[in-house]
């Protein structure tokens, strides 16, 4: 489920909400004042998947392997 960030247009409170694919944004209300007058805002995202790939095997983890390709 994606996390959406909103700002209440009544009390200016910023909050995050998990929404399933069946949920509708117009059903979300402010957790402080219960207003439905909210605005979806752009939030910072992580760069997961967009950076250079890193080794998935820790350094030295294969030091116990034999030269034949199997484990010793």
Q: Give me the tens of pLDDT residue by residue for the chain, a chain 72 residues long.
A: 788 899 999 999 999 998 887 778 888 999 999 999 999 998 766 555 555 555 566 666 665 555 555 555
Angle at 37 between CA 35 and CA 38, to 5 degrees: 105
The pLDDT, as a whole number, for residue 13 is: 96
The pLDDT, as a whole number, for residue 51 is: 53
Q: What is the pTM of this model?
A: 0.56
| Domain ranges, ordered by start, for the chain | 3-41
The pLDDT, as a whole number, for residue 57 is: 62
DSSP assignments along 2-49, one per residue: -EEEEEETTT--EEEEE--TT--GGG---TTT--S-EEEE------TT
CA–CA separation, 65 vs 72, rounded Å?
A: 6
The pLDDT, as a whole number, for residue 69 is: 57
Q: Which residues contact 22 (CB under 8 A, 6 or more apart)?
A: none
């Amino acid at each position: 489920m994606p996390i959406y960030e909103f700002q209440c247009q009544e009390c200016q409170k910023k909050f995050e909400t998990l929404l399933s694919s069946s949920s509708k944004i117009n059903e979300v209300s402010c957790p402080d004042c219960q207003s439905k007058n909210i605005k979806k805002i752009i939030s910072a995202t992580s760069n997961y998947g967009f950076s250079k790939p890193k080794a998935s095997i820790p350094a030295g983890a294969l030091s116990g392997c034999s030269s034949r390709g199997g484990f010793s």
